[in-house]
Structure 1
Amino acid sequence: MLEGGVKMRWLALLVLAALGVVSLAWLINIERGGGVGVALAGEKLALVRLEDVSVWYALQENGLDVLRDLADFFHSEGIPFHISLIPVFKDPSRGIELGIGDLHDPRVRAFNDTLKYMVERGGVVGLHGYTHQCGNEVSAAGFEFARFGEYSRPSYAAVRVKAALELVHKVGIPVTYWETPHYTASAAQYQEFARYFSIIYEPDPDDKRAKKIAVVKGLGGRKAVYFIPAPLGMITRDSDVPRLLSRVDRRRPELASFFYHPFMEYQHSLKTGDCAVFHLDRPNGYLRTLVRELKARGYRFLRVDELVREIEQGGHQGLYYSSWLEEEVLLQ
């Protein structure tokens, strides 16, 4: 029989061991995306964003099939993904202006149904401007804010954000973040964006090369606004995949965040009137390859709002920096 002091020491060791097992299970659960709490320090995270998604896809012969096919891919991999939506597509030279609120048009209704399908498959929608253009520019090619004259005014930004929000609310599309077209707006316009969004899915406006998340306090009157960058940039060609993976292998970033235009995933041909036909049986496969290679390297894909929640709970402390908005900007 053990003496009293020795017995107590053994009991204490057993309790500590049990606590260790519980703690390890708790951390593993968080690492796999379950439970609530602070995520593991130094955990490797990944974000993927589908860029410039608009009614343009419904104007192509099978553009909506492209969006649905990619949504099915992400769902099959168990990966959340982001959809930067341009609510109104404009091509002034061709007399086209068609938005998600034009429900009399069957192409719009089909596009909206596709968006909702993507959300059901794990998609997270954000607003990417209102038209992502100005003047005679085509949507997605042009700037929208901070160009000249009225386009640089905060009142102009406020009107566009409200108009975009009205459209997504009208058709029942939930939105989680804002992304400024071409990451370009004035300081006063970012104030307006922040009044409606605490997550802005782009780099710190004061440092567009920033690879860490900027937590800006006071912007738009908010306690905190999160600027989340995509430091791996954009995939545009086959050679981008090994280049980005080589960068990941050399630098081992905690955040592997990138964006991609969905139409790039498939070879295509053009019909009369520049209508594209995408060959889903002939994929380029850039996106699929990069996603699977990042998973193989231990990266966990997550939503931007999930990432923000983990930061607010004290996780990923080496992944972000905080700053206060300067008083002169607040007074603009």
Structure 2
Amino acid sequence: MRKITKKIKFSFLILFILLGTCGIICYYTFFQNTLTIINNTIYSNLLPTNTFKSTYTPKIKFGNMPITDISKISDVTLNILDETNIKNTPMLLKAQRYYIPLNFICSKLKYNFNDSNGSLIVNNESHTISLTQDTYTKDSINGSLRGNLINYNGDYYIGISDIEKLFGLTAVFDFESKHISLLPNNVQQPKASSIIYSRKIALLRFEDFTNGDSMAVDKNQVKVKCMADLLYSNGIKFHVGWIPRFKAPLDNIDNNLLENDSIANVGFVNLLDYLINKGAEMGLHGYTHQSGTDRSAAGEELSKDTNNTVEATKNVIENGIDVASALNIPCTFYESPHYRDTKLQQSIIEEYFQFVYEPFDNSKKNIYKTNTNNLYVPTPLGFVENSDMSSIINGLKTYDPEKLHSFFYHPSIEIDYINFNTDNNKLNVQYDENSPLNKMSQSIKENNYTTVHIDELINK
């Protein structure tokens, strides 16, 4: 009987040790798969160090473009606040951005302009803005200009995107009439987060974003600005998977932003700038996201059957980087079209980008750091299909530390939920509160998630 009792005690002891060991193992597994935010800084033993350097220098740099890359524009009219149909405004084009004289826009907006003593100061009773060629300080807040100032024949010119940012306006383009309205933007500034400590982190990405199909329509571009305003006012950070060159060979369309100067392409680059200014982080989603006769966003570009050599893969990646560099669109991540890149293609992407916004493989539901200091960030919650939000909402409601709460959304779905007009020289927006993006935003807030940018996933 004593022997049996000893055996039982010994068995319980072994069981206790095993349970304790399992608990320790589970704890460390849990910890390894958890990101923690403390005072707006992310911590995890999964994060790579901030020592990555790309192997590639872009062939074209926005800041190095000579004066010969600037052309005069004479056929665009403006509305500025209540003043309509302003013609013959001196206007320049550089890198798919329109520029107008800084002193001209200041006079229209009732700002003083002073360029004495080697500094540029713009101010009124409420705001003071100081400018360099590529930076600004507004009311003690520093930032970078999206288009940089141009000194042309002794006058300073400022880009439409930077006018929007610095003066609180929204540019509404009319491609057919070659008309731009600069209207008041009354979007509320996001409130500072009161969350000091959180393990509930979410990532959101706009997918297949390119200047083709629905995104090439001027009214739809304004609607995307409304989407950005929605996220910005709710303090939600987001990403954009950008396809730099839209091709539809069967329709004889090849929209190369480095070659095709048009007000439609100016409107699209203005939209990219607007998204960045409202909290978007940009990344490359291939170069054309197609091959052969396929349409961009539908076809393959990197796979076992497409661009499957080292040289071809590098060509795809470098073409995209060159467009981004020439247009001054900073891109911090890469995402292969349809996640179909091979291990060889992945290894080449890793030479150019530290952050790869896709799963390392189908078994990974959380971030994965390679031994080359790259970070793969999957989207385990999937995406919205046919406006059905259930999988995203249910995924956000279920807090699973083993699964990253990351997902993507095609903004073309949201367009049908937004209407607007410019009556009385204002941007009047009717935005359906039951739209997918509104529901996503509500769910993120209701479930106490903190949204982060992919390049915050770093040990600083």
Q: Give me the TM-score of the superposition, normalised by structure 1.
A: 0.72
Task: Say whether residues 1:191 and 2:340 are aligned partners.
Answer: no
**Sequence identity of aligned pairs in percent?**
28
Aligned to 2:380: 231
- Residues 1:152 and 2:308 are matched in the alignment: yes
Distance 1:292 1:99, change over 3 A: farther
Match of 2:328 among 169, 172, 176: 172
Number of matched pairs: 261
- Cα distance, 1:186–1:76 mapped onto 2, change above 3 Å: same
1:293 corresponds, among 414, 434, 443, to: 443
Q: In 1, are the aligned partners of 2:206 and 2:240 still within 8 Å (CA)?
A: yes
Could you say which structure has the higher strand fraction? 2
Alignment of 1:15-164 (within 5 A): 31=38, 33=40, 36=41, 38=43, 43-56=199-212, 57-102=214-259, 104-148=261-305, 151-164=307-320
Hey, what's the Cα distance between the residues in 2 that align with 1:152 and 1:177? 21
Q: What amino acid maps onto 1:217 in structure 2? A: N
**Tell me, what secondary structure is at the counterpart of 1:203?**
coil
Letter in 1 for 2:240: I
1:184 and 1:116 map into 2 onto residues whose CA distance is: 29
TM-fit CA distance, 1:295: 1.6
**Residue in structure 2 matched with residue 215 of structure 1 by the alignment:** 369
Aligned residues of 1:209 and 1:231 also touching (Cα < 8 A): no
CA distance in 2, matches of 1:49, 1:188: 25
Equivalent-residue separation in structure 2 for 1:128 and 1:183 (angstroms):
10
Question: What is residue 390 of structure 2 aligned with on the other side?
Answer: 242
| 1:251 CA drift (Å) | 4.7
CA distance in 2: counterparts of 1:41 and 1:83, whole angstroms: 27
Alignment partners' CA distance in 1, 2:323 and 2:270: 14
1:70 is paired with a residue whose SS is helix
Question: Residue 66 of structure 1: CA displacement?
Answer: 2.5
> What do the CA deviations read for 1:183-215 (whole angstroms, capped 9, x no partner)?
0112111121111100000001xx224211110
Superposed CA offset, 1:4-50 (max 9, x none): xxxxxxxxxxxxxxxxxxxxxxxxx95452xx574788701000000
Cα deviations across residues 265-291 of structure 1 (Å, max 9, x unaligned)?
1328xxxxxxxxxxx746461122122
Q: Following the alignment from structure 1 to structure 2, what is the Cα–Cα distance between the partners of residues 208 and 249?
A: 23
Change in Cα spacing, 1:247 to 1:153, as seen in structure 2 (3 Å) is same
Structure 2 unmatched runs, 5+: 1-35, 45-195, 418-428
Q: 1:249 to 1:37 in 2, by over 3 A?
A: closer
Specify which of 262, 266, 277 is matched with residue 411 of structure 2: 262
Judge conservation of contact 1:146–1:184 (CA < 8 Å) in 2.
yes
More helix by share: 1
Distance 1:242 1:67, change over 3 A: same
Distance in 2 (CA, whole Å) between partners of 1:72 and 1:100 is: 25
CA distance in 2, matches of 1:282, 1:302: 25
SS of 1:217's partner is: coil
Shift of 1:299: 0.7
* Alignment partners' CA distance in 1, 2:279 and 2:286: 22
AA partner of residue 228 (structure 1)? V
Q: Which has the higher contact order (CA 8 A, sep 6+)?
A: 1
The answer to whether the 8 A contact 2:237-2:451 is kept is: yes
CA contact (8 A) 1:48 1:259 kept: yes
Q: Which residue pairs with 1:26 in the alignment?
A: none
Change (3 A) 1:249 1:72: closer
| CA distance in 1: counterparts of 2:406 and 2:344, whole angstroms | 27
Tell me, in whole angstroms, the C-alpha distance in 1 between the residues paired with 2:415 and 2:262: 27
Structure 2 CA distance, aligned partners of 1:50 and 1:181? 14
Structure 2 match to 1:11: none
Rounded Cα–Cα distance in structure 2 between residues aligned with 1:214 and 1:30: 18
Matched residues in 2 for 1:55 and 1:179: separation? 18
Q: Which runs of 4+ in 1 moved over 6 A?
A: 39-42
Three-state SS of the structure 2 residue aligned to 1:50 is strand
Q: Which amino acid aligns with 1:153?
A: T
- Paired with 1:30 and 1:202, the residues of 2 have a C-alpha distance of 22
SS of 1:152 mapped into structure 2 = coil
SS at match of 2:312: helix
CA, structure 1 residues 287+129, in 2 after alignment: closer, same or farther (shift >3 Å)?
same
Does structure 2 retain, via aligned residues, the 8 Å contact 1:48–1:258?
yes
- Aligned partner letter, 1:256: H
